[in-house]
Chain A
Amino acid sequence: MVVNLLIGLPGDRPGGMVLTLAYFFMAGAAAFAAGFVYAAICVALPRASLVLQGASAVLRGVPLILLVFLLAHVSLFATGAAGLLALTLYSFGHVGEVLRSFLAAYPKPAADQARLMAVGRIHEWLHLRAPWTLWRSWTALITHWISLLKDTGALVVLGIGELTTTAKELSEVSSSFEQWATVLIVAAGLYLGATLTLIKLLPLAAGKLFGILQQHHGADGQGRERYA
């Protein structure tokens, strides 16, 4: 069972940390990419994208467990794919809004300066706006990713398709109670470790990224100021 908790693949009950991390990275990366596109559309077309923003707000108001229930029962996707899609949609709702608010706060003088220096629009977005937004929104993104990892763990350990029946079953059978008590304690320990690692590692990664960006743009005061 402990092996399952570490590397449990789809179909194993309980699922494992490896599967959690795979789902977490896939959903997180897809939501991040979609969120950046959403943010760019909303900033470029603030009025025309009001419907899109409204849909994103509604999405944020729906619990993940209900999204999983909806997609697992209604869509044509297999349970695993439905779970992954639900996680991606859930993450997109939050990440998109974080990125939108920071991208919208990009200082106008910096944009004007780039235009005066004849920096191309794509170049400006890729080399100035995107790094500035990413750097500023880092803390908010980390908070969301920790939440996503925990929610992914819940789905994987308990089983996406059987989330709501597992607890009822295991509370009824005496032998499975002792078994599941061990599962819950080990799972809690594993996810606690993973979350604390994420809390410690992501700021370190951000520091490294900051260092790389500083090197790329020069370690002078101007470069430091840009990402500070």
Chain B
Amino acid sequence: MLSDAGLWVGIAGSLVLWVSSGTLAVLIGVVLAAGSLSPHRPVRVLARVGVNLTRGIPTSLLVIAAGIGAMRLAGISGLPIVFPGTAAPFQPLAWALVLALALGSAGHLAEIFGAARSALGRARLEQAAVLGLSRPRHAAMIARECAAIALPPTGTRLIHHLHNTAFAGIFPVAELFGAIQGRASATFQVFHFALLGCAIYALLSGLTWLIFRLLEAALAPPVARQARTRLPAWS
């Protein structure tokens, strides 16, 4: 079963979808979290609306709306061809799904980043403000302090995000769930292929968790590393 080339193309497709949409989700999440802290009320309100909309609407609905919309909007060109196994005419569709998947996680990530900043505490934030650093250096310092707190829930969310990429399988975009479903239908070995799919997803989720634990250890500032107690696995 593992020698099936289509399965490997599906895995590669899922990884490209996950990395591209995950990166976009983190960027939108940072923008929404920063907007929620803005001193300007209209910006703050817009950011909160963005967070609530992206958190409140099921990702599956966003994916289907984006997919159907992209299939109706023919003639989009100029987008890079990066999704392995997906036919060239469906590459814009895959990009639309990337956007939908990113929006599905952006609100959750914005809440995580906001909570991590709050967890630093007012005293620490005021301490950072009176250091007289330039804005980029100040932001970099706060981001580094927040990383230790934000990384575990961000990792968990990105594992959930990996699972959400399976929704792309309902469109003609090559990814793991679609590949598993296709092979299961073609060979009638539903149980074997479904179990193999479970094992691959569990392995990818485990690898993501491991990468985030390593990042957490590497990026934690010395103060946070000393103060950190045992974190629960679910966080």
What is the interface of chain A, defined by CB distance below 8 A to chain B? Answer: 57-58, 60-67, 69-70, 73-74, 94, 97-98, 101-102, 105, 140, 146-147, 150-151, 153-154, 157-158, 163-164, 166-168, 170-171, 177, 180-181, 184, 187-188, 191-193, 195-196, 199
**CB-based contact B201/A62 at 8 Å:** yes
Residues of B within 8 A of A150 (CB): 57-59
Q: Does B55 contact A (CB under 8 A)?
A: yes
- What is the bound-complex CA distance between A62 and B170, given in angstroms? 17
Taking the nearest CB of chain A, how far is it from the CB of B99, in angstroms? Answer: 15
Q: What's the least CB distance linking B125 to chain A, in Å?
A: 22
Task: List the A side residues contacting B195 at CB < 8 Å.
Answer: 70
Contact string, B162-188, partner A, CB cutoff 8 A, digits 1/0? Answer: 111011011110000110110010000
Is there contact, CB below 8 Å, between A70 and B57? no
Q: In the complex, are the beta carbons of A101 and B232 less than 8 A apart?
A: yes
A70 and B194 within 8 A (CB): yes
Which residues 147-175 of B have a CB within 8 angstroms of A? 159-160, 162-164, 166-167, 169-172
| Docked CA distance A158–B65 (Å) | 12
Given contacts A66-B180, A70-B198, A177-B72, contact A188 B64 (CB under 8 A): no
Interface residue? B190 (CB, 8 A): yes
Interfacial residues, chain B to chain A (CB-CB below 8 A): 52-53, 55-62, 64-65, 67-68, 71-72, 159-160, 162-164, 166-167, 169-172, 177-178, 180-181, 184, 190-191, 194-195, 197-198, 201-206, 232-235
Flag if B198 contacts A62 (CB, 8 Å): yes
The 4 closest A-B pairs by CB, nearest first: A101-B232, A61-B202, A61-B205, A63-B163
Least CB distance from B106 to A in Å reads 14
> Residue of A at shortest CB range from B195?
A70
Q: Are B233 and A97 in contact (CB under 8 A)?
A: yes
Determine the distance from Cα of A171 to Cα of B89 in the docked complex, in whole angstroms.
Answer: 15
The answer on a CB contact under 8 Å between B181 and A69 is: yes
Point out the residues of chain A lying under 8 angstroms from B65, CB to CB: 181, 184, 188
CB-based nearest A residue for B153? A143
CA A62 – CA B204 in complex, angstroms? 10
CB of A31 to closest CB in B, whole Å: 14
Does A66 contact B166, Cβ atoms closer than 8 Å?
Answer: yes
**In the bound complex, what is the Cα–Cα distance between A191 and B64 (angstroms)?**
15
Main secondary structure of the interface of A (DSSP, over half): helix
Option from A98, A167, A196 in Cβ contact (under 8 Å) with B68: A167
Given A94-B234, A196-B52, answer yes or no on A153-B58 (Cβ-Cβ < 8 Å): yes
- Contacting B71 at CB < 8 Å: which of A98, A140, A158, A171? A171
* 7 further contact pairs, Cβ within 8 A, besides A150-B57, A164-B170: A60-B159, A61-B202, A62-B201, A69-B194, A105-B232, A158-B64, A199-B55
A151: B residues at CB distance < 8 A: 58, 60
Closest chain B residue to A157, Cβ basis: B61
CB <8 Å contact, A154 and B198:
no
How long is the Cα–Cα vector from A165 to B53 in the complex, in angstroms?
Answer: 27
B62: nearest chain-A partner, CB-CB: A188
17 examples of A-B residue contacts, CB within 8 angstroms: A61-B203, A61-B205, A69-B181, A70-B198, A73-B194, A97-B233, A140-B235, A150-B57, A154-B167, A164-B181, A167-B68, A167-B170, A184-B61, A184-B64, A188-B62, A191-B61, A196-B52
Write the chain A residue with the least CB distance to B70: A171
Complex CA–CA separation, A25 to B230 (angstroms): 32
Verify A170–B68 contact, CB threshold 8 A: yes
